[in-house]
Amino acid sequence: MSVKVRFAPSPTGKLHVGNVRTALVNWLFAKGQGGSFVLRIDDTDLVRSTKESEDNIEIDLKWLGLEWDERYNQSKRFDRYEAAADKLKASGHLYPCYETAEELDLRRKVQLSRGMPPIYDRASLNLTDEQKAAYEAEGRKPHWRFKLEGKRVSWEDLARGHAEVDTASMSDPVLIRADGLFLYTLPSVVDDIDMEITHIIRGEDHVTNTGAQIEIFEALGAKMPGFAHMPLLVGADGSALSKRLGSLAIMDMRADGYEPIAITSHLGKIGTSDNLEIAASMQELGEGFSFSKMGRSPARYDEADLGRLNAQALQVMPYEVAKPRLAELGVDLGEDFWNVVRPNLNFFKEVEGLAAIVNGPITPVIEDAAFAEAALKLLPEEIGADVWSVWTGAVKAETGAKGKGLFMPLRLALTGQAHGPDMGAIVPMIPRERLVARLKGETA
C-alpha cells in the first residue's frame, strides 16, 4: 500500500515554523517514497476558524513548495462524525455526561487535595435513565465522553521507537461538547480512517492523544495507521520554542526575504544526523529524508543557521532562476553580474545595493584625496577584463602602497563600502566615466 499522510492545521492563526516543520516532515516522508500528501483543514471549531487563516495556510504551503494531492475541510464532514458518534454510542463507547464545568472543577480540587490524580471519576457512567431524564428536564445538555479501556496502549513509533501510553491514567476524553461541537479527537480519527491515512506524523505533544485515539480506532474497527511523533523545536539556547512560535510566522519570514528552500532545508534537517546544508531542491530533500536519521533530542531552531542557509541558497542560485526576480527589481545586469554578486548576498534584495556599484549612484568614501588623484591618473583608457590587476599594479608601482593599504582606499572610493564583491570581477562592469567621477569624490 502506498504511503498517504496528512497535515491538519487548525485555521485559527498564522502558520509558524513549528507547524511547518510538521507539514514538511509529512511531505518529505510521503514524497521520498512516492506517496501522497493530504491537506486537511481542522475547522470543526466554527467560531475560532477563519477563512483568512485558511487562505494564508494555502499561500504559505504553496510558497514553500508543499503542494498537496488532496484537500479537505472538516467543517464539511460533520455527517461523518455524527455517524461515527452514533456507532460509538451504540457500542457503549461514548456516554453522556451531565456535570457542569464548575462541578468538574470542584471534583478535581477535592481529588488533588487528597493527593489523588485529577482523573474524571465516571460518575455519569452510572446514571440511571431516570437520573438522566431529570438532568434533561432541568435543561442540562450532555457532553459525551469516550470510555477508555484503561490499559497500556503501545505502538512502534517511527520517530521514538517503542512507545506506550497508559490510558488508565487519563480522563475519558470529551469527544462532543454540550453545545454539540465535535472536539478535535474524534473527527481526526474518522478522517484518518476515511482518507486511508497510512501514517500519522505530528509533534511529540500529541503522544497522549495517540493513546486515546488508538482506542478510538479500535472501537471503530479500523485498521491502525503508523505513528511518528517528532521531538519539539527548541531555540538556539536549548529553551522551549513554544512561547515564541507565534512570532515565527512563515508569512513574516517571507516578507523578511527568506528563501523557501532555506526554510525547508533548515526545518527538514534540524534534529537529524544530516549536516545543515542547503538542499538543491525539495525533491532532493525528500529523497534524503528518513526517520532513522531523527534522534530523540529536540530539534534546534537557530536563526543564525537559517541565515547561513539563506546565503547558501543565493550562492548556488542559477542565473535562470534569479533572472525574473532581478528583472522585477529592475537590476537584471546579466549573468556575469549575478555570478559576481551572489556570494555577497544574505538576502536577495541586497542585490539592489550591489547593482548600484555598476549603475550608480554610489557616494565614494575618500580618505586620502592625493592617493585617489594618483590612482585616477593611472586608470587605463580601456576598461578590459584585467583592468583591476593592471591598474592596481601601476598604482602600487607609483605610490608604494600595497596589500590592504592599496586595495581598501580603491574599494571605498569605487563602491562606498569596506566589503563587497570581488573587485577584479566587478570593476570591468563599471562604465569608465563613473570610475573617474567616483575617484574625484563625486556621487556617480
Q: Verify binding: residue 8, ligand GLU, rule CB under 6 A.
A: yes
Say if CB 386 and CB 347 are below 8 A apart: no
Using the contact rule CB under 6 A, the part of the chain among 3-11, 238-246, 321-329, 402-410 near ligand GLU is: 3-11
Annotated binding-site residue? 62: no
CB 235 within 8 A of CB 241: yes
CB of 44 to ligand GLU, least distance (A): 9
Span of 6-14, 263-271, 326-334, 358-366 interacting with ligand GLU by CB under 6 A: 6-14
Q: Is 41 in the site for ligand GLU (CB under 6 A)?
A: no
Write out the three cell numbers for 244: 515564541
Rounded Cα distance between 143 and 140, Å, is 10
Report how many residues bind ligand GLU under the rule CB under 6 A: 8
Q: How far is the CB of 6 from ligand GLU (least distance, A)?
A: 7
CB of 67 to ligand GLU, least distance (A): 19
**Beta-ladder partners of 272:** 294
364 forms part of the interface with ligand GLU (CB under 6 A): no
3-state helix, strand, coil in the chain (%, to 5): 50, 15, 35
| Interface with ligand GLU, residue 20, by CB under 6 A | no
Taking the complex as a whole, how short is the minimal distance between the CB of residue 230 and ligand GLU, in angstroms?
A: 11
Residue nearer to ligand GLU on the CB measure, 17 or 362: 17
The DSSP call for residue 161 is E
Q: Which is nearer to ligand GLU, 183 or 376 (CB)?
A: 183
**Grid cell listed for 399:** 605610490
- For the bound state, the minimum distance from the C-beta of residue 188 to ligand GLU, rounded and expressed in Å, comes to 5
- Residues for the chain: how many in total? 444
- From 414, 405, 408, select the one nearest 439 (Cα to Cα): 414
Choose between 173 and 420: whose C-beta lies nearer to ligand GLU.
173
Q: Which is nearer to ligand GLU, 246 or 334 (CB)?
A: 246
2-10, 29-37, 306-314, 436-444 -> range binding ligand GLU (CB under 6 A): 2-10
**Residue numbers 177-206 binding ligand GLU by CB under 6 A:** 184, 188, 202, 206
125: CB partners within 8 A, 6+ apart: 95, 147
Determine contact, residues 263/306, Cβ cutoff 8 Å.
Answer: yes
Closest CA to 183 of 7, 16, 10: 10
Shortest separation between residue 355's beta carbon and ligand GLU, angstroms: 43
C-beta nearest to ligand GLU: residue: 42
Among 7, 60, 69, CA closest to 34: 69
CA distances for 301 relative to 120, 269, 384, angstroms? 38, 10, 47
To ligand GLU, the closest distance from the beta carbon of 180 in angstroms equals: 19
Nearest to ligand GLU of 197, 314 (CB atom): 197
Instruction: By CB under 6 A, tell whether 26 contacts ligand GLU.
Output: no
| In the complex, minimum distance from the CB of residue 171 to ligand GLU, in angstroms, rounded to a whole number | 19
Helix axes 260-269, 17-32, angle to 10 degrees: 80
Question: SS3 for 380?
Answer: coil
Using CB under 6 A, which of the segments 7-15, 59-67, 108-116, 289-297 binds ligand GLU?
7-15
**Binding track, positions 203-222, relative to ligand GLU; x by CB under 6 A:** ---x----------------
Residue 297, φ and ψ in degrees, nearest 5: -80, 155
Core vs surface per residue 70-94: b (16+ CB within 10 A) or e: eebebbebeebbeebbeebeeeebb
For residue 365, how many other CB atoms are within 10 A of its CB?
A: 17
Cell of 391: 591598474
Question: 10 vs 415, which CB is nearer to ligand GLU?
Answer: 10
Residue 163 φ/ψ, nearest 5 degrees: -130, 150
CA distance 343 to 339: 8
42 touches ligand GLU by CB under 6 A? yes
Please give the residues from 128 up to 187 whose contact with ligand GLU meets the rule CB under 6 A. Answer: 184
CB of 324 to ligand GLU, least distance (A): 35
- Chain-centroid distance, C-alpha 99: 40
Considering beta carbons, is residue 29 or 337 the nearer one to ligand GLU? 29
CB 27 within 8 A of CB 286: yes
Is residue 9 part of the contact set for ligand GLU (CB under 6 A)? Answer: yes
Stretch binding ligand GLU (CB under 6 A), from 8-16, 168-176, 246-254, 372-380: 8-16
Q: Which residues bind ligand GLU (CB under 6 A)?
A: 8-10, 42, 184, 188, 202, 206
Q: Which residues are annotated as a binding site for ATP?
A: 243
